[in-house]
Structure 1
Amino acid sequence: MRLLLVRHGETPSNVASLLDTAAPGPGLTALGARQAAALPEALADEDIEALYASTLVRTQLTAAPLAAARGLRVHIRDGIRELAAGDLEREPGDTERGRLYMRTVLAWADGERELRMPGPGGESGTEALARYDAVVAEAAGSGARTVAMVSHGAAIRLWTAVRARNLDADFAAAHPLRNTGVVVLEGSPDDGWRALSWAGALVTPAREGGPAGRPVDAG
């Protein structure tokens, strides 16, 4: 299966650099709406047969133009929502407490999966991966050859760092995903996943000409 993981369009919380992971979450800014409107053309070469979005409003608004252009139903699934911030919710991302969020996510990516985000509602890496895996498995079992999932930056970075055999925690740390950035993978839950491109840059396959996950010029 070909899997396209798409980050949602820009939100007011992105502009303010605030951690904002709770449901239903904010809508899109004017720029975010334009980013969403540009997705059908940006993905024109992809033969998308199934489209998913998370339970947060911003992903559904981002998916809507693509769904309309392709005549697709949007499958809403909680499993691909953003990683819950717990007590760090609404913290500015550039404060010490705000930086703890991504430090925890990257620790999960590096194998420390039983760490938890602080406070009520904070989840562990094991829990976050399990819910994301369940939605990917559902999509793989649908028979669709190409699936797009509109999800969230930290969740996409974690899942790909752990599940794509040619990416790792160092790659996730060095490569934030911009709004409506797309990660393209191929594989299956049984056979594993390989990242093909990250936000337009090709990804060197593990053991094939470069360090695992090293981006190369797409030409």
Structure 2
Amino acid sequence: MRLLLVRHGQTPTNVDYLLDTGVPGPGLTDLGRRQAAALPQALAGEDIAALYASTLVRTQLTAAPLAAARGLEVLVRDGLREVSAGDMEMLPGLSEAGERYMRTVFAWADGDTDLRMPGGETGTEFLARYDAVVAEAAASGAGTVAMVSHGAAIRAWAAARAHNVDVPFAAAHRLENTGVVVLEGTPADGWKALTWAGATVVPAGEGGPTGRALDGTA
């Protein structure tokens, strides 16, 4: 299966760099709406057979133009929502709270899945809910599936499940609004990331320095 993980369009709390992960969450900014409107053309070369979005409003609004262009139903699944910020909800992302949030997310991807986000979920819980939606899509038999999700969730899941994405790579490569990670594989055989925001993914171990892991959340 070809899997396209798409980050939602820009929101007001993205502009303000807030850890905004609650449901239903905000809508899109004017720029976010333009980003969503550009998705059908950006993904014109993809033969998308199924389209999913999280339970947050921003992903469903982002998916809507693509759904209309392809004649697809948007399948809303809670498993694709953003990693809950728990006790750090609505705190500034460019702060110690934001650093702790991303350290926790990448610790999960590195195997410490028992670690709990303060006041939130564990890595085991996050990966189980995300895996369940991916497994559902794979079981449908669709050749190419697009899932509109969230920055930290996409980066964490890709780093945990794609054999050629390591934590340093995922931490160093932010995902802009409506950025896309393209993977290929199956839940049984595993996943390989093909491109990350349009760039070819380097092999695991060659991701370079971690950079500013705050970017690309929520």
TM-score norm. by structure 2 comes to 0.93
Q: How does 1:158-173 map to 2 (within 5 A)?
A: 158-173=156-171
Aligned residues of 1:194 and 1:205 also touching (Cα < 8 A): no
Q: How does 1:82-121 map to 2 (within 5 A)?
A: 82-119=82-119
Q: Which SS does the other structure have where 1:131 is aligned?
A: helix
Correspondence for 2:197: 199
Correspondence for 1:19: 19
Q: Which SS does the other structure have where 2:32 is aligned?
A: helix
Instruction: Provide runs of 4+ in structure 1 moved above 6 Å.
Output: none
Which amino acid counterpart does residue 165 of structure 1 have in structure 2? H
Query: How far apart, CA to CA, are the structure 2 residues paired with 1:116 and 1:205?
Result: 29
Query: How far apart, CA to CA, are the structure 1 residues paired with 2:117 and 2:180?
Result: 26
Q: Which SS does the other structure have where 1:52 is aligned?
A: strand
Distance change (3 Å), C-alpha of 1:22 and 1:201: same
Q: Which SS does the other structure have where 2:104 is aligned?
A: helix
Residue 31 (structure 1) shift: 0.1
Query: How far apart, CA to CA, are the structure 2 residues paired with 1:6 and 1:213?
Result: 21
Q: Which SS does the other structure have where 1:40 is aligned?
A: helix
Given candidates 162, 172, 175, the residue that maps to 2:173 is: 175
Given candidates 143, 146, 168, the residue that maps to 1:145 is: 143
Correspondence for 2:29: 29
**What is the aligned residue count?**
208
Which amino acid counterpart does residue 44 of structure 1 have in structure 2? A
Cα deviation digits, residues 15-63 of structure 1 (max 9, x gap): 0000000000000000000000000000000000000000000000000
Aligned residues of 1:184 and 1:197 also touching (Cα < 8 A): yes
Q: Which SS does the other structure have where 2:4 is aligned?
A: strand
Given candidates 129, 132, 136, the residue that maps to 2:127 is: 129
Mapped pair 1:79 → 2:79? yes
Which amino acid counterpart does residue 77 of structure 2 have in structure 1? R
Q: Which SS does the other structure have where 2:147 is aligned?
A: strand
Aligned residues of 1:9 and 1:32 also touching (Cα < 8 A): yes
Query: How far apart, CA to CA, are the structure 2 residues paired with 1:160 and 1:54?
Result: 17
Structure 1 residue ranges without an equivalent (≥5): 215-219
Which amino acid counterpart does residue 195 of structure 1 have in structure 2? A
Aligned residues of 1:165 and 1:193 also touching (Cα < 8 A): yes
Which amino acid counterpart does residue 17 of structure 2 have in structure 1? S
TM-score norm. by structure 1 comes to 0.93
RMSD of aligned alpha carbons: 1.1
